[in-house]
Amino acid sequence: MPCADEVWRLQNLDEPDCLHFQSFCDSDGRLNHRDASATRQGTYCVTPSGILLGSANHRDPRRIAELLRTSLAKWNELDPAERLLETDPRETARSIRRAELNYPEDGLVLRVDSRDLPRTWEGAEQPDPDDWRTHAWNFDYAWFRAAEVERLVPAELAIGASWDLPADLVQRLCRLHLTDNVRGQTDHYARDEVRTARITATVTQIEDGVAHLGLEGALHLEIADGSRGLRGTMLGTARLALDAPRTFEAFEAVVVADRWGATRFNQRHDDRDHAPVGFAIHLAGDGPTERIAPTAFWEYGWR
């Protein structure tokens, strides 16, 4: 059974699933050959009982295919009783407090896709078409609870009405989700690094119990020394069903921005200069893989 999870939590917390991971992740020696604080990021083949069959941290599909073959051979050599836990884990699993348990069932969930935009390369080295970074893209999810959705729109609406969305919610969206994660993990922005964060909504039409909204906005995020930041504008539309509880039937927005600088893991070490980046924001589905918690969920402050 394949699964994917965020490794920092697994290797640092003391919840049952984390302790299970910690029991086998170093069985072959530390995967990334560094001290105990080093990431355990990688691919693991392991039995439900916690016997490590093999591990690797590599993008080459041939390496991973070989890992799967050798691990399957080891699995086939095991006695069936060795493969499974001695006790049913369902009771223990109830004590796991994952961020996904906070999924806003009756709220708003947006998917935020990010990618580099076309740019001129005058006087600069052309990107290598065979380098994965040239074609990289990424995504994150932004969550809003039902009470927050109610705050996004005034109680009374009329065609032509215009208002700014609540500053705290817009700032959260910008500083946590409109970040340069195109090539990999990056740092979010602190509250005091938000220079501008605004989204203005205007009612363009009300028909059949649905309000049609136009969206436009601006953002400017920048760390204190100016070495990293992002500045851009937003355009979009949304449709809000006015029957209680109000729900968004559609939400489509694009952000075009200038980004600069780098963080430790976002693969910009040789691409720090100003360059265009784009974001597409839209309603997420509600399938199991679309309920992943926001990358910086701990910054939401939800309890």
Q: Mention every residue, 6+ apart, whose C-beta is less than 8 A from residue 197.
A: 167, 170, 171, 173, 174, 175, 217, 218, 219, 220, 221
Q: Could you tell me the end-to-end alpha-carbon distance of the chain, in angstroms, rounded to an integer?
A: 32
Phi first, then psi: what are they for 81, rounded to 5°? Answer: -70, -25
Residue 301 has pLDDT above 90, yes or no: yes
Q: Mention every residue, 6+ apart, whose C-beta is less than 8 A from residue 207.
A: none
Nearest to 259 by CA among 162, 146, 115: 115
Asked whether 248 and 150 are in contact (CB, 8 A), the reply is no
pLDDT score of 93: 87
d(CA 55, CA 71): 9
Phi first, then psi: what are they for 10, rounded to 5°? Answer: -60, -35
277 bridge partner residues: 116, 257
pLDDT score of 91: 85
Structure tokens at 168: 């705290």
Mean pLDDT of 268-278: 95
pLDDT score of 203: 98
Structure tokens at 204: 């363009």
Structure tokens at 76: 């086939």
Mean pLDDT of 167-195: 98
pLDDT score of 27: 82
Which pLDDT tens digit goes with each residue over 111-121?
Answer: 999 999 998 87
Which pLDDT tens digit goes with each residue over 229-248?
Answer: 999 999 999 999 999 889 99
192 bridge partner residues: none
pLDDT score of 33: 63
d(CA 86, CA 2): 22
Residue 72 has pLDDT above 90, yes or no: yes
CA distances from 99 to 9, 114, 144, 169, 187 (A): 11, 23, 14, 19, 19
Residue in this structure with the two tokens 């959705």, named with its chain if needed: 149
Structure tokens at 153: 């729109």
Percent of the chain with pLDDT over 90: 79
Residue 87 has pLDDT above 90, yes or no: no
Asked whether 259 and 237 are in contact (CB, 8 A), the reply is no
More confident site: 178 or 12: 178
Structure tokens at 224: 């204190």
Asked whether 161 and 212 are in contact (CB, 8 A), the reply is no
pLDDT score of 122: 67
Which pLDDT tens digit goes with each residue over 127-150?
Answer: 788 888 889 999 999 999 999 999
Residue 94 has pLDDT above 90, yes or no: no
Mean pLDDT of 52-72: 95
Which pLDDT tens digit goes with each residue over 6-24?
Answer: 898 999 999 999 999 999 9
Q: Mention every residue, 6+ apart, whose C-beta is less than 8 A from residue 293.
A: 98, 99, 100, 102, 103, 141, 143
Nearest to 98 by CA among 278, 282, 298, 299: 298
Which pLDDT tens digit goes with each residue over 218-231?
Answer: 999 999 999 999 99
Residue 32 has pLDDT above 70, yes or no: no
Mean pLDDT of 26-38: 71
Domain ranges within the chain, ordered by starting residue: 7-93, 101-299
- Four-residue CA torsion sign, 206, 212, 216, 222: positive
pLDDT score of 261: 98
Mean pLDDT of 25-54: 84
pLDDT score of 99: 92
Q: Report the 3 state secondary structure along 42-79.
A: CEEEECCCCCEEEEECCCCHHHHHHHHHHHHHHHHHCC
Asked whether 112 and 139 are in contact (CB, 8 A), the reply is yes
pLDDT score of 302: 93
144 bridge partner residues: 108
Average pLDDT along the chain: 93
Mean pLDDT of 280-295: 95
